[in-house]
Structure 1
Amino acid sequence: MTLLASPQAPTLASELTLATKGPADVLRGTGDLGVVVERATGSLALVNTSDREIINHIEGLGDLSHASVKFSRDERYAFVFGRDGGLTKVDLLTGRITQRIIQSGNSIGGAISQDGRYIAVANYEPGGVKIFSSDDLTLVADIPTTYEDKNGETQRSKTVGLVDVPGNDFVVSLFDAGEIWTLDMTGKKPGIERYRDIGEKPYDALISPNGRYYIAGLFGEDGLAKLDLWHPEKGVERILPDYGRGEKRLPVYKMPHLEGWAIAGDHAYFPAVGRHEVLMANTADWSLEKRIPVHGQPVFVMSRPDERQIWVNFAHPDNDVVQVIDTRSGEIVKTLEPGKSVLHMEFTPRGEQVWISARDSDHIKVYDTETFEELATLPAESPSGIFFTDRAHKIGL
């Protein structure tokens, strides 16, 4: 997005000082911007991916120990979901917070609707989903995720894996209840469809790039739960149910993240829970085709935009390493050591670079994804999540 002078915004150019390196009348597009979460200081580093530089730091965002970010469809605003229940709207052009609310006791992430009107937040405490207007963060709907436990008592479940899907809907998993809910936002009130008994303890979920398949990972058992949103009448199907049969699971130091899953060609790549493996499934029938041994327990398994490579980072104590899998051979072709405690990776929109956060080294490494050459090292305070504005135009991101 590029801002143009208009009678409705006579002071806008003067507000851009923080977001530019030059005079206040220099305007900036948002297509090469992004943010890096600085979890130790409750701040965001505003970055330019073309220049590979940090523009400034935006402070006052609370507890960012498990933060995620979504972007408005015009790429101007970032919506930051904090672990303290904070929901913060940040103007990327002025480098300022425009609104901030505390909407729950403990939240785990969120999503923005297809039309950009709604911001949904998944909450641990109390369990449920809250939906807000993206304009001013006013509450639109409060949806408690209640279920009946084994004793017949009504409980509220933690919510995870909240994503947007086509049709202005949201889909979310209920960790304690073992359910998936779809939330239809086309009417005056959210329409709720419940899918019960999907498996034990869904811990995270993903949506396929075309918005068809919602897949929840299961922590309490092997396998994943798949909902075909083109044919919801078929219900939830279990896939990869036996990938760890007969094997002992290792202690899990950090839960895998499915949002950064990888689809490349006719295959999907998933992190295996409690194992040093990446699972490769055939998307024609979702059968397990290969188990790829890797350095540690995978956390993020991410596809380069052209689908030629899969980049993998790992849980403690093996989290100083990133490995690259070539999708043509299914083999590891590169092992990198970007720094201590690698937490996240993000590709530039066309995939020529990858940015990697190393929390305990207080820096971000930028690599050329073709040559693996290190292009830059940027200082940051305990960096974790990295989010670029092109996510605004991708389903589920």
Structure 2
Amino acid sequence: MKISHYLFSALLLFSGQVSAQCLTRGTGDMGIVIERADGSVQVVDRRAHKALFRIEGLGDLSHASAVYSPDERYAYVFGRDGGLTRLDILCGTITHRIVQGGNSIGGAISQDGNLIAVSNYEPGGVKIFSASDLSLVADIPATPVNSEKRAKTVGLVDAPGQRFVFSLYDTGETWIVDMSDPTKPQIHKYEHIGQQPYDGLITKDGRYYIAGLFGQDGLALLDMWHPEQGTRLILEDYGKGEQKLPVYKMPHLEGWAMAGNRAFLPGVGHHQVLVVERGDWKPVGKIPVYGQPVFVMARPDGRQIWVNFAFPNNDTIQVIDTETLQVIKTLKPGKGALHMEFAPRGEEVWISIRDRNEIQVYDTRSLEMTHSLPAASPSGIFFTARAHTTGL
């Protein structure tokens, strides 16, 4: 009896098993969805709005992130339990998996795609692996806090010139690691950047690295074109210290939006989005919003900003027009609207709705939902276009 292609695909998806047959297709319209509660991911076809594979056995994905190889075939998933997993998204399989630390908080891929760096709380430091087989290339321990503990590393990103940048939460530092010669990592350390850096981002052009500070107001900025100038404090009135409301969730800095020459960032402990002029990094406006923002994300053309919110307002998404600085739409997709991912050219956005066990897809022109896909407690959504963007 002949089994239809669609039935065959469904059998693969729900069994979690994949045959020896791999897909023969381009990867440019593919991606993965993290299913945080089950330790699994779905490989999805973005344009067809459907799942292709479900891959299990990835460990603790409660704070997972992912990067892609330059050819977009392999996804590297960073789990909270220290797991680093390499997925073949055309075959729906795990090719390599290691547990490289005790408590991991994200990672990055080098400019040439040959190295994978992982940031660790336990043991504090960064480990760098070969992208082809996950063999260890470099182990970079963080500054000791005491005889038994090293500083937590946070805000790890890739930077041009085969460099990685990260910050040290407990000791208030930012480090640049130059991996031009993988056998001899060159480390440049910047001390006293501010109290308790908790996250970081790098602008898409790779010029500015910015660390958020948990222990004081302000942000620490490092100009990667002129690292010899060291870090400086910007937005000294911005942060946790001057907040007027309980902070339910510290916003992710990688969720900042850059649109033209302006940055849009979540107000910590406030129901507002701050508008900041790039260059002098001074605020030029504040936009009232529905709750405390977590991710403030720009549509790829920069015309819209999409914002989601911390508990108890995490059932809402708001859309801001970057020209008028006004909220133009308030959406109610459901509780646990955690993560958003735009199609590379911005015609649609995918949103994970954790408490409804689904992904919702919205047309960014009509601002209407067009599709939904089932997913088990979904969180992060990562499309393969990230392979070609610095800092993602």
Counterpart of 2:67, as a letter, is: K
Gap regions ≥5 residues in structure 1: 1-16
Which of 46, 49, 56 is the matching residue for 1:49?
46
Which 10-residue stretch deviates more, 336-345 or 139-148? 139-148
Answering whether residue 123 of structure 2 is matched by residue 126 of structure 1, we say yes
1:102 maps to what in 2?
Answer: 99
Is the 8 Å Cα contact of residues 240 and 268 (structure 2) preserved in structure 1?
A: no
Shift of 1:213: 0.2
Residue 333 of structure 1 is matched in structure 2 by 328
2:214, 2:239 within 8 Å by CA — same for their partners in 1? no
Aligned to 2:173: 179
Change (3 A) 1:364 1:126: same
Question: Which letter does structure 2 place at the counterpart of 1:183?
Answer: V
**Does the residue aligned with 1:259 lie in a helix, a strand or coil?**
helix
SS, match of residue 180 in structure 2:
coil
CA gap 1:155/1:56 in 2 versus in 1, 3 angstroms: closer
- Deviation per CA, 1:362-386, whole angstroms, max 9, x where unpaired? 0000000011111101110000000
Which residue does 2:230 correspond to in 1?
A: 235
| Cα deviation 1:281-331 (Å, max 9, x = unaligned) | 101311111121211111111110000011111111110101111100111
Moved more, 218-227 or 82-91: 218-227
Give me the whole-angstrom Cα distance separating, in 1, the residues matched to 2:72 and 2:300: 19
Match of 1:221 among 216, 225, 230: 216
Normalization by structure 2: what TM-score?
A: 0.92
| Amino acid in the other structure paired with 2:349 | V
> Structure 1 residues 68 and 245, CA, compared in 2 at 3 Å: closer, same or farther?
closer
1:243/1:288 contact within 8 Å kept = no
Aligned-partner Cα distance in 1 for 2:249–2:51? 29
2:77 is matched with 80
> What do you get for the CA RMSD once the two structures are aligned?
2.0
Tell me the alpha carbon deviations over residues 18-72 of structure 1, each in whole angstroms, 9 at most, x when there is no partner.
69x9x95862110000000001110001111111111121111010000000000
Supply the distance in 1 between the matched residues of 2:159 and 2:241 (Cα, whole angstroms): 36
Asked whether the equivalents of residues 239 and 268 of structure 2 are also in contact (C-alpha less than 8 Å), the reply is: no
Is there any run of 5+ residues in structure 2 with no aligned partner, and where? 1-10
Report deviation, 1:154: 8.1
- What do residues 264-289 of structure 1 show as CA deviations (whole Å, max 9, x unaligned)? 11101111222222111101311111
Equivalent position amino acid for 1:50 in 2? R
Q: How does 1:274-353 map to 2 (within 5 A)?
A: 274-353=269-348
Match of 1:64 in 2: 61
SS in 2 for 1:391: helix
Equivalent runs, 1:149-160 vs 2, <5 Å: 155-160=149-154
Structure 1 Cα separation of the partners of residues 67 and 241 of structure 2: 40
Q: Which amino acid aligns with 1:238?
A: L
Identical counterparts, % of pairs: 63
Whether 1:396 aligns to 2:359 is no
Q: In structure 1, what is the Cα distance between the partners aligned to 2:184 and 2:355?
A: 45
Aligned length: 377
| Counterpart-to-counterpart distance in 1, 2:278 and 2:184 | 35
Name the aligned partner's letter for residue 250 of structure 2. M
Partners of 1:386 and 1:74 in 2: CA distance: 19
Q: Distance in 1 between matches of 2:373 and 2:319?
A: 22
